[in-house]
Structure 1
C-alpha cells in the first residue's frame, strides 16, 4: 500500500499553487483514466488535488471578436473543464452547431464512463498501448530510456504518422480528434496566470521525449476549451472504425468540418478541416489534404490526390499497414457523404 494524500481544491488558483509546488502532485477530476493508472502502477503520485468541485462545469456562448460569423451573433462556445462528456454530447448547441463533437463523444467509452469523464480529462488521457499499461515491460513513455516494446512486439494499433524510434503509440481520444478539426482553443491557468493554446499546439508528437503528451507545464490546469464560430453553411461529422460496435478504441477515426460553395457537381470547397485519430501520437490534422482540396471541386479524383499528399509520409509495419487504406477509404466516405447528404451533419 502506497501512501497517497487527497485534498479538495478550494479554488483554481490554490489548486495550481499546490500542484506547481510539488513535482509528485497531480490534478484529479473524473478520474476515469488516472484511477486506472493508479491501480496498474503506471502513475505513482503522492498527492492528488481534486478539482472536480470547482465551478468549471458550464457551457456558455461568448461573443466572438469583430468579424466573426456563424452561430448566434458570431459567438464562440466555451466549455468548462469539468463538463461531463455525456452532458457535452447532449447539449443542444453542440448537437446543432458542432455535430462532429457530439458524434465523437458518443463514439467513445460507455455511457457510464461518459457520465463520469470530464472535458479536460478526456484531452489529457494517456495512451492505451498495452506495453505502456504493463509495468513489467520496457516503455519509453512510462519510463524514459528503457526502450519501446511496441517496435518489435504487438503492433496492430501502432502509429503510421509522426512516430519516432522512441514511441509508436497513438492517442486514444475521440473527442480530441473532433476538437482538432474544429480548431478549438485550450484555456489553461498556471502560476503565471492564464494562457490560451491553439489545439494544434496542445498535444505533442513523441520525438525524443515521448513521456510528454502535451505542451502543458507541471501545475498548469485546463479550465476550459473554446470552439470558434462556424459559417452557417458548415456541415460536420465523425466516423470511427473499430473492432466492435461499442466500447472500443479507434483503429482509425475521421473528423471532417466542410463548407461548400454551391451544390451538386458545381460545388467547390470553400473550406475543409480533416482530423484523424488512431494514426498518430496526437490527433492528426491532415493539413496537406486540406490545402489540396480548398478551392476546387470535391471529386473522387481530387479526394484521391489530396489523400495521396497527406499519406505520402506514412510509415508502417506489417501489423499496422492496414491503417493506410482504412483511413483513406474512411475519409473518402465521410467527405462524399457530407457533400451529398448534409443530414449527416446533424447529431
Structure 2
C-alpha cells in the first residue's frame, strides 16, 4: 500500500477544506481500504469523516425519511420502524455483505462503492478503462462476463454496479444531500451515478471537495407494499446475479403506483420504468408481473457470458412483484 497522509476533521467545513488534490474520503473503509491494499486506489491523503457530528441518525418523518451518511448498514437494517413501513430498505441491507462488514460500512460509503469487476480490481490486467482510461476493457476483449452489466454498458466498459441499498433508493426517488465549497446541494439519486460512455473512470457527479452528508427519501404508499428479491450464487455474502427492489400501491386489484429497480445487471443503479408503465393502472395478476419482468429487460444488451441474466432477471422481477402484491394487500 502506498503511504498517505491522514486527517480526521471534527466538522463538515474542516473536512471540505482538507479534501485537496489527491485526497479521498474515508468513512467505513470497507471498500476504500480494500482497494488501497490492491493498489487500485492510491490516494495521497485520506480524510476520515467518522468524527463528524449528527451524520449517523435515521429520522422517519411524516413526509420523508432521512438517512445520515454515517449511519451503519446493520443499525439501519435493524430499525424496526423502518422495517414495518418500508421493508425494502432494511431487506437490501440485510442481504448485503457479512454482519462484520455491515457494522463497519456506512450508508454514504455504500452508495459510492466501486465495482467488483475482477478486471478492475486486479492490476495484473492492464486493460481497464475504469482504472486506466484509454487502456481498453479486458471483459470486452474476450474476458469472462458472467457478472457484468447487460444494461447501461458501453463500448468502453461493462462493469456492474454491485450495491443493493441503491436499488431501493432509486426506486423511491431518493435525493442525496451534499456539502461542498459552495454550500449544500441536493442531487436526485437517479442523477448521482454516471453511465460509463467513453470515460468509465468518472462514476458520479460529485465534485472533488464534496461530501455526502445524508440521503432523503419521500414517503410513498408503495413503500409498505415493497420487497427486495436477490438471486446470487450462494445464500450469504454474495453479490447479486440479478435482483429487484419493488413497491406496489393498490386500489382493490388495480395497481395505482409501481416502483421497480434492478440490481446485479446494470452499470449504475437502474430504474426499470418500462416495467412500471406495464403495471400502473392495470389489474394485477401473475401474468402481469411476468410481463413487467420481460419489459424490464427489453433493452438488455448481453454478452455471451451474461445472457443468462435476462431470463433470470425477468423471473426475479416477477417474483418480487408477487410478494409485494401480498404485502400491499395486507396493508389495504
Match of 2:119 in 1: 131
Structure 1's 333 and 16: CA in aligned 2 closer, same or farther, altered over 3 A?
Answer: same
SS in 2 for 1:335: helix
Structure 1's 233 and 86: CA in aligned 2 closer, same or farther, altered over 3 A?
Answer: closer
Instruction: Give 1:43-62 correspondences, 5 Å limit.
Output: 43-55=41-53, 56-62=55-61
Indicate conservation of the 8 Å contact 1:337/1:344, yes or no. Answer: no
* TM score, norm. by length of structure 1: 0.91
Indicate conservation of the 8 Å contact 1:183/1:228, yes or no. Answer: yes
Deviation, structure 1 residue 341: 4.9
Structure 1's 81 and 5: CA in aligned 2 closer, same or farther, altered over 3 A?
Answer: same
Deviation, structure 1 residue 282: 0.9
1:178-232 per-position Cα deviation (integer Å, ceiling 9, x unaligned) = 1111221110001101011111111121111211111111111000001211228
Structure 1's 315 and 201: CA in aligned 2 closer, same or farther, altered over 3 A?
Answer: same
SS in 2 for 1:60: strand
Indicate conservation of the 8 Å contact 1:236/1:344, yes or no. Answer: no
Residue 183 (structure 2) aligned to one of 183, 193, 198: 193
Query: Using the alignment, how far apart are the partners of 2:150 and 2:330 within structure 1?
Result: 28
Indicate conservation of the 8 Å contact 2:7/2:18, yes or no. Answer: no
Query: Using the alignment, how far apart are the partners of 2:316 and 2:137 within structure 1?
Result: 29
Query: Using the alignment, how far apart are the partners of 2:222 and 2:241 within structure 1?
Result: 32
Residue 174 (structure 1) aligned to one of 164, 186, 202: 164
Match of 1:121 in 2: 109
Residue 309 (structure 1) aligned to one of 286, 295, 298: 295
Structure 1's 2 and 335: CA in aligned 2 closer, same or farther, altered over 3 A?
Answer: closer
Total equivalences in the alignment: 328
Match of 1:287 in 2: 273
SS in 2 for 1:245: coil
Query: Using the alignment, how far apart are the partners of 1:133 and 1:233 within structure 2?
Result: 35
Deviation, structure 1 residue 343: 8.7
Indicate conservation of the 8 Å contact 1:180/1:200, yes or no. Answer: yes
Query: Using the alignment, how far apart are the partners of 2:12 and 2:28 within structure 1?
Result: 16
* TM score, norm. by length of structure 2: 0.95
Residue 143 (structure 1) aligned to one of 132, 143, 147: 132
Match of 1:227 in 2: 217
1:238-290 per-position Cα deviation (integer Å, ceiling 9, x unaligned) = 0110001101000011100110111xxxx011000000001111111000110
Query: Using the alignment, how far apart are the partners of 1:271 and 1:129 within structure 2?
Result: 35
Match of 2:39 in 1: 41
Unaligned runs of 5+ in 1: 63-73
Match of 1:92 in 2: 80
Residue 226 (structure 2) aligned to one of 236, 253, 274: 236
1:2-59 per-position Cα deviation (integer Å, ceiling 9, x unaligned) = 321011112101211221xx22000101100000001000000011011011111111
Indicate conservation of the 8 Å contact 2:162/2:264, yes or no. Answer: yes
Indicate conservation of the 8 Å contact 2:70/2:108, yes or no. Answer: yes
Structure 1's 233 and 26: CA in aligned 2 closer, same or farther, altered over 3 A?
Answer: closer
Indicate conservation of the 8 Å contact 1:253/1:277, yes or no. Answer: yes
Structure 1's 303 and 5: CA in aligned 2 closer, same or farther, altered over 3 A?
Answer: same
Deviation, structure 1 residue 310: 3.1
Match of 1:30 in 2: 28
SS in 2 for 1:149: coil
Query: Using the alignment, how far apart are the partners of 2:306 and 2:330 within structure 1?
Result: 29
